[in-house]
């Protein structure tokens, strides 16, 4: 039975073998990699990735990475493909087949149909003389010295190397397409990056009846009632034309009390913060967060294209929207 020290030694051996396998892919890149990328880049349909067993799991991940980085792709199980799923492949697609041995029966059974469809076949195997490699338009070689499994049975270094090579393809295509953060966010609207790059202050600000606002002649007491109603810890202060004069916050209230102003008679314009920090409609919510953190403030007034105040938000709104 292994001791704790042996666990560590075994783990280090596995990581060393797999890191060498990944490094070997970098050292062996050749023109076949460029040709494969050209096929994928010029594909007017989708990249159909297939693989069985552990290679199937790797294939699914590669398809997902391609799809999220600008290359339309999906995974098809080769066992299901021969029972109807092959109908998913169109004449405009490219098939990307993964099999370390290059002799996986379920994939070889599809070669005749793939050739009949006339779609390009890109393969990734560990054996250039294998049946799959010889029947491919482009073959990508997975170089490994040995599997990390001491029995040499469980796919370990080979799947790690294949996964890394798949990532290299996806990211090369991303760069060739000029894929940007905004594009990535469109395919990840539910993730944190999507919220950062797609969510605008307009989407979460308090507006209309929910927007706290008082005239500059309003006395402090009435301004406090407006702040209480909105529950934002602040209110905008405007003139008769609706232009922003300043902001009054919970912090201003503390200073008001310290200076013993009469809340029943003092106009809000005498104790407000003039020239307050604002942002414009259309600003990303993430930018609003950056401004608030830099200024060490908890709320912002949002202005429209005419520089009129139309909304407000605070740190809690950003937190609730998942921006923080």
Q: Are strands 121-125 and 94-98 parallel, antiparallel or unpaired?
A: parallel
Angle at 124 between CA 112 and CA 102, to 5 degrees: 60
Q: What is the mean pLDDT of the chain?
A: 89
pLDDT for 196 equals: 62
Q: Are strands 47-51 and 234-238 parallel, antiparallel or unpaired?
A: unpaired
Domain assignment of residue 144, yes or no: yes
Closest CA to 246 of 213, 211, 292: 213
Domain assignment of residue 244, yes or no: yes
Domain assignment of residue 184, yes or no: no
Cα 180 from chain centroid?
A: 11
Q: Which among 179, 214, 249 is the end of a domain?
A: 179
Q: Mean pLDDT, to the nearest integer, of 139-149?
A: 92
Can you tell me the distance from the alpha carbon of 284 to that of 148, in angstroms, rounded to the nearest whole number?
47
Residues 113 and 152 in one domain: yes
Domain assignment of residue 191, yes or no: no
Residues 22 and 124 in one domain: yes
Rounded to whole angstroms, what are the CA distances from 17 to 10, 26, 29? 11, 15, 19
Q: Which of 132-136, 197-201, 251-255 has the lowest mean pLDDT?
A: 197-201
Q: Which among 179, 214, 248 is the end of a domain?
A: 179
Angle at 88 between CA 86 and CA 91, to 5 degrees: 95
pLDDT for 197 equals: 63
* Residue 167: CATH number of its domain: 3.40.50.10490
Domain assignment of residue 153, yes or no: yes
Closest CA to 217 of 281, 259, 265: 265
Domain assignment of residue 193, yes or no: no
Residues 167 and 234 in one domain: no
Residues 6 or more apart whose CB falls under 8 angstroms from that of 77 comprise 50, 52, 56, 85
Q: Are 193 and 182 in contact (CB under 8 A)?
A: no
Local structure of 50: helix, strand or coil: strand
Can you tell me the distance from the alpha carbon of 211 to that of 115, in angstroms, rounded to the nearest whole number?
64
Residues 8 and 80 in one domain: yes
Residues 146 and 274 in one domain: no
Residues 212 and 287 in one domain: yes
Residues 22 and 169 in one domain: yes
Domain assignment of residue 263, yes or no: yes
pLDDT for 226 equals: 93
Can you tell me the distance from the alpha carbon of 149 to that of 66, in angstroms, rounded to the nearest whole number?
29
Can you tell me the distance from the alpha carbon of 255 to that of 106, in angstroms, rounded to the nearest whole number?
76
Number of domains into which the chain is organized = 2
Q: Which of 126-140, 243-257, 264-278, 310-324 has the lowest mean pLDDT?
A: 310-324
Is residue 194 scored above 60 in pLDDT?
no
* Residue 260: CATH number of its domain: 3.10.580.10
Structure tokens at 160: 């790690």
Can you tell me the distance from the alpha carbon of 182 to that of 154, in angstroms, rounded to the nearest whole number?
40
In sequence order, what DSSP letters do the residues of 94-127 get, joined into one string? EEEEE-SSS--HHHHTTHHHHHHHT--EEEEES-
Query: What values do phi and psi take at 74, rounded to 5?
Result: -155, 160
Q: Are 220 and 243 in contact (CB under 8 A)?
A: no
Each residue of 80-106: pLDDT tens digit? 866 555 667 888 999 999 999 999 999
Residues 204 and 174 in one domain: no
Domain assignment of residue 188, yes or no: no
Each residue of 226-266: pLDDT tens digit? 999 989 999 999 999 999 999 999 989 999 999 999 999 99
Is residue 296 scored above 60 in pLDDT?
yes
Cα 254 from chain centroid?
A: 42
Q: What is the DSSP letter of 321?
A: T
- Percent residues over pLDDT 90 in the chain: 64
Q: Mean pLDDT, to the nearest integer, of 199-212?
A: 91
Residues 62 and 147 in one domain: yes
Give the structural domain span for 160.
4-179
Residues 202 and 264 in one domain: yes
pLDDT for 199 equals: 80
Residues 88 and 167 in one domain: yes
Angle at 228 between CA 227 and CA 234, to 5 degrees: 25
Residues 141 and 79 in one domain: yes
Q: Which among 179, 209, 234 is the end of a domain?
A: 179
């Amino acid at each position: 039975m292994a001791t704790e020290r042996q666990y560590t030694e075994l783990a280090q051996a596995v990581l060393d073998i797999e890191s060498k396998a990944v490094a070997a892919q970098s050292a062996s890149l050749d023109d076949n990699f460029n040709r494969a990328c050209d096929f994928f880049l010029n594909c007017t349909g989708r990249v159909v990735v297939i693989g069985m067993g552990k290679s199937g799991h790797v294939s699914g991940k590669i398809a997902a990475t391609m799809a999220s980085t600008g290359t339309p792709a999906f995974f098809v199980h080769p066992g299901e493909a021969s029972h109807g799923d092959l109908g998913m492949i169109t004449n405009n697609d490219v098939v990307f087949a993964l099999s370390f041995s290059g002799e996986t029966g379920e994939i070889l059974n599809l070669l005749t149909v793939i050739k009949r469809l006339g779609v390009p076949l890109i393969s990734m195997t560990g054996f250039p003389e294998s049946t799959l490699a010889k029947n491919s338009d482009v073959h990508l070689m997975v170089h490994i010295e040995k599997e990390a499994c001491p029995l040499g049975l469980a796919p370990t270094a080979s799947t790690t190397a294949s996964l890394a090579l798949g990532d290299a393809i996806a990211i090369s295509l991303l760069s060739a397409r000029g894929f940007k953060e905004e594009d990535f966010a469109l395919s990840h609207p539910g993730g944190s990056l999507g919220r950062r790059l797609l969510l605008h202050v307009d989407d979460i600000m308090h507006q209309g009846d929910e927007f706290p606002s008082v005239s500059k002649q309003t006395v402090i007491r009435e301004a406090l009632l407006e702040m209480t109603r909105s529950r934002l810890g602040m209110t905008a202060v405007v003139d008769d034309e609706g232009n922003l004069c300043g902001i009054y916050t919970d912090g201003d209230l503390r200073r008001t009390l310290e200076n013993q102003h009469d809340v029943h008679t003092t106009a809000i314009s005498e104790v407000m913060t003039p020239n307050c920090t604002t942002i414009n409609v259309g600003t990303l919510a993430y930018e609003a967060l950056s401004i608030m953190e830099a200024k060490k403030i908890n709320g912002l007034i949002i202005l429209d294209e005419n520089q009129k105040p139309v909304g407000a938000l605070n740190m809690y709104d950003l937190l609730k929207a998942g921006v923080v």
